[in-house]
Amino acid sequence: MNGQRLKDKVIVIIGGTSGLGLSAAKAVVAHGASVLVVGRDQDKCLSVQRELGERCQFNVGDATHPDTSELAIRCAVDSFGDFHGLYHVAGGSGRSRGDGPIHEITDEGWRYTLSLNLDSLFHSNRAATQKLLELGHGGSILNMSSVLAYSPSPRYFATHAYAATKAAAVGLTKASAAYYAKQNIRFNALAPALVDTPLTTRAMSDTKTLDYVATKQPLDGGRVGVPQDLDDAVVFLLSDESRFVTGQVLAVDGGWSVTEGQYHERTEDPQEDTANS
């Protein structure tokens, strides 16, 4: 492993205290970056900082609030002297608040899921773009999408507001990539399938869903992803190695988007959840 792929880079990770974001924070520090992580729980933030050491700072905040990302990026510059990249991970399922198939989505479920996944991403991308324009040296903005944005699974993963937010993340990423390319500000997105994180406990506890995923994600023996499966892609897209890459959506999905997957007959509706965190 080349520990210098992100040497002297300053990265902000929105949602960096658990799951995919925490794994990414460890990876970018291991590759030479300084990182500021944002999370809602102060104890988790302190734990991450203790684990990663002096090249890690944190801010406690809710990513759906407009000021959270702006403050985090400002603190990163104050702490480390610069800012080069944003990784937006924060988000999740709105199922418990009323997301589901479109005929069942409640108004609250729709508003909650859009705020959680899309408003938060807009706030972070806007703040990062404004700071990179101010600094004048370009940089990389990496967003979290999902295979459900373009490769639905109606039987096991029918959360349509969630899918809409993840498709919107792709649209915002591509439009921004086109607009800011002349300023060397790159926008890309990752699209995982089912990854074992604290936000996917419902799917991880349902044997029928796991049987389906074992055939829908056939790589590496057929399995659920782990956060570390995304780390090399994160490092690549935040580093200068991807200096000629923008507007792309990279599926890190174990083959989900190119595989049919096998259904198992049953007489009742499956437990449903949302892929990735």
> How do residues 134-174 score in pLDDT, each as one tens digit?
999 999 999 999 999 999 999 999 999 999 999 999 999 99
* Higher-pLDDT residue of 152, 274: 152
The pLDDT of residue 201 is above 90: no
Q: What is the pLDDT of residue 271?
A: 47
Q: What is the pLDDT of residues 12-69, one digit of tens each?
A: 999 999 999 999 999 999 999 999 999 999 999 999 999 999 999 999 999 999 999 9
pLDDT (0 to 100) of residue 267: 44
> CB–CB of 274/201 below 8 Å?
no
Listed in sequence order, the DSSP H helices in 83-230 are 107-114, 120-135, 160-180, 201-204, 207-216
List beta partners, residue 36: 12, 57
Q: From 42, 52, 16, select the one nearest 238 (Cα to Cα).
A: 16
C-beta of residue 91 within 8 angstroms of C-beta of residue 117: yes
Measured CA to CA in angstroms, residue 207 lies from 19, 233, 264 at distances of 21, 29, 11
The span from the CA of 166 to the CA of 233, in Å, is: 18
Single-letter amino acid, residue 140: S
Both tokens assigned to 32: 């030479």
Residue 247, sorted as left (phi over 0), alpha (psi -120 to 50) or beta, turns out to be: left
Identify the DSSP state of 115: I
- Residue 93, judged by CB atoms within 10 A of its CB (0-12, 13-18, 19+), counts as buried
CA distances from 199 to 103, 242, 262 (A): 24, 29, 24
Q: Which residues are catalytic?
A: 162
Q: For the chain, which domains are there?
A: 10-256 (3.40.50.720)
Retrieve residue 73's tokens: 């990026």
What's the length of the chain? 277
Higher pLDDT, 260 or 89: 89
Distance of CA 255 to the CA centre of its chain: 18
158-183 exposure pattern, b = at least 16 Cβ within 10 A, e = fewer: bbbbbbbbbbbbbebbbebbeebeee
Contact 22, 38 (CB under 8 A): no
Q: Which residues does residue 190 pair with via DSSP β-bridges, in sequence order?
A: 144, 250
Cα separation, 161 vs 153, whole angstroms: 14
Which is more confident, 92 or 202? 92
pTM to 2 decimals?
A: 0.92
